[in-house]
Structures are given as structure tokens and as C-alpha cells.
Amino acid sequence: MKGFAMKKIGEIGWVEKEVPQLGSKDALVRPTAISPCTSDVHTVWAGAIGDRKDMILGHEAVGIVEAVGSEVRDFAPGDRVVVPAITPDWNSLEAQAGYSMHSGGMLAGWKFSNFKDGVFAEYFHVNDADGNMAHLPDTIDDATAVMLCDMVPTGFHGVELADVQFGDKVLVIGIGPVGLMSVAAAALRGASEIYAVGSRPNCIEIAKEYGATHIINYRNGSIEDQVMALTNGKGVDRVVIAGGDVDTMITAIKVVKPGGKIGNVNYLGEGDYVKVPRSEWGCGMAHKQIAGGLMPGGRLRMEKLMSLIETKRIDPSKLITHRFEGFEHVEDALLLMKDKPKDLIKPVVFIK
Ligand code: NDP
Ligand code: ZN
């Protein structure tokens, strides 16, 4: 089969590989829509997970089940499915402890285009298929569904980590596709005010549609000054970090109120330390909590997030700005994600 791969750090291209073999609990899926992620860009061009040779990229796909192992109960060839980016081993101790994304070791629930070939291929392999795939209803189209693989669950996880409560003032730093889903999730959770940080005009537009009440352009001055001006110097109750760099945490700690919570889903690619400003952290006594996490995967989560689309509580299709017909365009889509032109939020590639 053909796949689109990371050949080594900084180099991409097509590869020929054997169709993956199935264990008894596994499934083989033929993708019908795929989307590249900022994480694919980090993987290839920042060497984020170290070097890989001819590893097929991608972790966002919906498709049709081609084959299943003998012990798979709930799925059969021909079923239309969504597969989350994170596919844990559900019988691991980490999963039993509530942290399935770390099954087998820290971050090891992230298997696609990390420990095994990803989804930018004619076929891809899904471990623990009954736990890691969800049936897609006819009411949800492929493009919308592919946003469920990573953008919706990650953006929502930022809001879970920040533990947004009714009436909270919430700062969302970064409004790419992930942060935009955090804005939507904060609105669903009952935030009273949502301050969204970004600069791309179309992201700003969509942020407002998803519920942002104020826009902060980080290119026009410090985020801290702008937040403090908007909140009469009081700061915010919660911060979700979905963009920026390793020093964005310093800003978050400065602007969150005592007792506030910070949820980070941003990938921190550079810098040896995440710094905590001593005095704004109350000399260690401010009850300002910090959590950072990889998105949870799993069938139940997919089904629940899907139900929010079916009942029209969220519409992730607004994230899709570029559509390509044909597998051969996966490279174009990935390069768009790398170059981030101003009109881009998320591209989708449809495969016949
Ligand atoms: P994008 O690059 O599309 O968006 C990043 C956002 O951050 C943009 O709004 C950008 O603004 C803003 N930004 C950039 N620099 C700064 C800065 N210095 N200060 C404040 N804001 C800034 O990324 P995605 O939405 O695709 O992904 C966000 C992050 O989430 C990535 O790091 C990705 O790897 C990570 N991720 C994490 C996952 C997880 O499970 N935890 C899963 C998937 C992704 P502008 O409008 O100017 O572009
Ligand atoms: Zn991703």
C-alpha cells in the first residue's frame, strides 16, 4: 500500500509498505477523509518525537472498516467509523487509573505516527478496536467527523483541565483549531466572558461565533496588560493554553486569580524548563493550579462528543477552510499546515 511518510527529520515523501497485519482485537481501516495536524508539523520539522525513518504520518482520519480480528465484537467490514488520535490499551494499569492516554508509559497512548504508522495511508491499523473506534451516524459528514479525531477532544480537554465553571471569566491563549474548540467548550461549560488570544482574522471571526466575548491580539501588546485592562486589574478565573511557547505559562500564572486553574494542551517544543513566576504564584501559596495533558481517546468520548454535533450544540465544520479531493493532495494539505497562511484554520483531504 501507499503511504505519505516522514522519511527523516525535515523530509517527507511517499513510501510503499505492506498492509498492516491484524491481531485478534484489531481492525484495519480504509480512510475516506484525513486531516494533517500541527503536531505532524512538529513531528517532521521540529523533530519533536525524535527521528523516524519512513514512518507514515497522520493521526486524524475517518474511514470504512476493511477487516477486523476474530475477537472484535462491535464492528464489521463496511462500517463507517471515526478513530481518535489517541488509541490507548484499555486493559493497561494506566487506563485503569484513569489516564488511558499514558497507557504503556508517558504519552504512549499516542501511537499513530509516533510508535507505529499513522493514517495517511491506503489502510491503517487500529489496536483495541472495540475501545478505540466509534460508529459514525449518516447525519455527520466525513469533514465534520474528522475534526472529532483531535481538534474537538483536545480543545475540550483544555477546558476540562482548567475546570471551567458557570460564570467564569476564561482566557483562551491560542485560537488555532484547537483553541477555537476550547472557546466553544468554555461557552458550553457556562463561562460568562471568554477572552480569546490570536491574530489571524478568520480565527478571530470564528472565535466570536463560538462564543468569545473579547479578542486579544498578542501582536498588539502584552497579553497580561490587555487581560488586566479588560478585567479592571482582577485577572481571570481560568486559563486554557492552546498556543504560544514555553513562556506562555508565565503569562497564564500572572493573569489567573488566586484559586484559579490553568489547563495546557499546547505542545511545548522548546526550552528546558516551564517557569513559574515566584511572586505571582503567591510565593508558593496562591492556590494557582497548573495541569497539562494529552487528549483522552476512546469510543465513549467519541460518542459523547459526536452527540454534541448531532444535537447541534457544537459545529466543528467551521474549522475547515481548505478541502482537497484525492489522496495525492495530502502533501499539499500538510504543507499548508506547516506554512499557516492567514486564511487557514484546518484542511481536509477526501479519499475516494
Ligand atoms: P495553531 O498553530 O493553528 O494555533 C496556535 C495559536 O496560538 C494561534 O492562534 C496563534 O496565533 C497563537 N499564538 C502563536 N504564538 C503566540 C504567542 N506568542 N502568544 C499567544 N498566542 C500565540 O495550532 P493548533 O490549534 O493546531 O494546535 C495548538 C497546539 O495544540 C499545538 O501546539 C499542537 O501541537 C497542540 N496539540 C496538542 C494536543 C494534545 O493532545 N494536547 C493534540 C493536538 C494538538 P495566530 O492567530 O497569530 O496564528
Ligand atoms: Zn493532531
Q: Which residue has the cell 483553541?
A: 179
User: Which residues, 6 or more positions from 84, have their beta carbon under 8 angstroms from its beta carbon?
Assistant: 132, 148, 149, 150, 153, 295, 297, 298, 301, 302
CA 78 to CA 66: how far, in whole Å? 6
Cβ pair 35, 139 in contact under 8 A: no
CA dihedral 200, 201, 203, 207 (to 10 degrees): 130
Is the minimum distance from the CB of 176 to ligand 1 under 6 angstroms? yes
Centre of ligand 1 to C-alpha 50, Å, is 20
Q: Which residue has the cell 504543507?
A: 335
Is the minimum distance from the CB of 336 to ligand 1 under 6 angstroms? no
pLDDT one digit per residue (tens) for the chain, 352 residues: 999 999 999 999 999 999 999 999 999 999 999 999 999 999 999 988 999 999 999 999 999 999 999 999 999 999 999 999 999 999 999 999 999 999 999 999 999 999 999 999 999 999 999 999 999 999 999 999 999 999 999 999 999 999 999 999 999 999 999 999 999 999 999 999 999 999 999 999 999 999 999 999 999 999 999 999 999 999 999 999 999 999 999 999 999 999 999 999 999 988 899 999 999 999 999 999 999 999 999 999 999 999 999 999 999 999 999 999 999 999 999 999 999 999 999 999 999 8
Q: Which amino acid is at 36?
A: P
Q: Which amino acid is at 23?
A: G
**Is residue 18 helix, strand or coil?**
coil
Residue nearest to atom 34 of ligand 1 (CA): 39
Centre of ligand 1 to C-alpha 242, Å, is 5
Q: Which residue has the cell 484499555?
A: 90
Centre of ligand 1 to C-alpha 263, Å, is 14
Q: Which residue has the cell 471515526?
A: 82
* All cell numbers assigned to 220: 498588539
| pLDDT of 352 | 84
* All cell numbers assigned to 99: 489516564
Residue nearest to atom 14 of ligand 1 (CA): 244
Is the minimum distance from the CB of 241 to ligand 1 under 6 angstroms? no
* All cell numbers assigned to 25: 482485537
CA 262 to CA 65: how far, in whole Å? 39
CA 243 to CA 343: how far, in whole Å? 17
The ligand whose atoms approach the alpha carbon of 85 most closely is 2
- Residues pairing with 54 in the sheet: none
Is the minimum distance from the CB of 103 to ligand 1 under 6 angstroms? no
- Residues pairing with 238 in the sheet: 170, 261
Is the minimum distance from the CB of 309 to ligand 1 under 6 angstroms? no
* All cell numbers assigned to 210: 463560538
Residue nearest to atom 2 of ligand 1 (CA): 176
Cβ pair 196, 216 in contact under 8 A: yes
DSSP string, 284-302: GTS--EEEE-PPP--HHHH
* All cell numbers assigned to 104: 504503556
